[in-house]
Amino acid sequence: MSIENFSGELLITSQPEPGIRLKLTGSKRQLDDLDITTRNGVLHLRMQQNPGTSRSTRINTLTNSSVMAFASNGSTTHLIINGQKIISDSSNRSDDSDQEAEPLSAELMLPAKLPLTITGLRGQARIGARSGPVDATLAAGTMDFAALHDARLRVTGSGNIQVGTAQGQLDITIKGSGNIQVADARLSLLEAQLKGVGSIHIKGQAEQAELRLRGTGSIYVDSVLQQPRTSLSGVGSITVGNW
């Protein structure tokens, strides 16, 4: 499952049954400007934001969860996946061009074990507990994960990522300015790299850790069982609580 270059508000929750549900909510103009096609079981969404400028979101579906049909009728948008109709009704929203448009909102419901990739997100994302691998890149805005198991997190512009619980392996990189915080870590391996300005703050414990900082910023980890490998270049600090 991959989501690329989404701009707006993203909510991802888990569902026990196989398959993927998607609900889109926005102004009539946003939905009218949304071009949606399916090719080889892949759902493609493209938003035309300004003349000559477009962003696209691509969602790879499971083979047994491929999109069956998409239909638009007036101000109500229907997405049908495996015969289930998901409806986004924007009929009560204003389409006044002088009014600032609300951000496009997408709600995804998918199995917790399904691998998830998010790249180039601009906006806000709230993501429930994931038991499958996660690879997420934030360009601008915020990401909030309830729980992760084996994850790769990136901030490439400016933004903040918060994680409730992290287990397994965690690979973190900040390039630019941003912050990544983990409230409760129980990791076999932590790899953290900061290039630029920002902070990485890990509460909890990792069995092994490799920590690299180049620029201005800070990396903090509560506890590492084995002696951590560190590399510091520039003005900044790397702190491991028990070493």
- 219 found inside a domain: yes
User: Is the confidence at residue 90, as pLDDT, over 50?
Assistant: no
- 25 found inside a domain: yes
Select the more confidently predicted residue: 39 or 96. Answer: 39
User: Is the confidence at residue 161, as pLDDT, over 70?
Assistant: yes
Total structural domains within the chain: 2
User: Is the confidence at residue 7, as pLDDT, over 60?
Assistant: yes
Name the pLDDT band for 133 (thresholds 50, 70, 90): very high
Are residue 82 and residue 21 in the same domain, yes or no?
A: yes
User: Is the confidence at residue 17, as pLDDT, over 90?
Assistant: no
User: Which pLDDT score is estimated for 231?
Assistant: 95
Are residue 142 and residue 223 in the same domain, yes or no?
A: yes
Are residue 123 and residue 218 in the same domain, yes or no?
A: yes
- 239 found inside a domain: no
Are residue 120 and residue 84 in the same domain, yes or no?
A: no
- 238 found inside a domain: no
% the chain with pLDDT above 70: 67
Are residue 39 and residue 147 in the same domain, yes or no?
A: no
Are residue 84 and residue 120 in the same domain, yes or no?
A: no
Note whether 24 and 6 are within 8 A (CB): no
**Is residue 146 exposed (0-12), middle (13-18) or buried (19+ Cβ within 10 Å)?**
middle
User: Is the confidence at residue 35, as pLDDT, over 90?
Assistant: no
Are residue 31 and residue 124 in the same domain, yes or no?
A: no
User: Which pLDDT score is estimated for 32?
Assistant: 65
Are residue 161 and residue 75 in the same domain, yes or no?
A: no
Are residue 134 and residue 68 in the same domain, yes or no?
A: no
User: What mean pLDDT is predicted for residues 91-113?
Assistant: 63
User: What mean pLDDT is predicted for residues 84-104?
Assistant: 46
Are residue 222 and residue 125 in the same domain, yes or no?
A: yes
pTM to 2 decimal places: 0.77
Name the pLDDT band for 3 (thresholds 50, 70, 90): confident
Task: Single out the residue in 77, 110, 143 at which a domain terminates.
Answer: 110
- 220 found inside a domain: yes
Q: What's the chain's average pLDDT?
A: 78
Are residue 29 and residue 125 in the same domain, yes or no?
A: no
Give the Cα separation of 132 and 186 in Å (integer): 16
E strand intervals along the chain:
2-4, 7-14, 21-25, 34-39, 42-50, 53-60, 67-73, 76-81, 84-89, 105-110, 116-127, 134-224, 229-233, 236-240
User: Which pLDDT score is estimated for 210?
Assistant: 97
Name the pLDDT band for 69 (thresholds 50, 70, 90): very low
- 242 found inside a domain: no
User: Which pLDDT score is estimated for 39?
Assistant: 58
User: Is the confidence at residue 227, as pLDDT, over 80?
Assistant: yes
96: helix, strand or coil: coil
Among the ranges given (31-35, 77-81, 134-138, 164-168), the one the predictor scored with the smallest mean pLDDT: 77-81
For residue 48, the enclosing domain spans 2-88+104-110
Give the Cα separation of 160 and 179 in Å (integer): 5
Give the Cα separation of 182 and 204 in Å (integer): 8
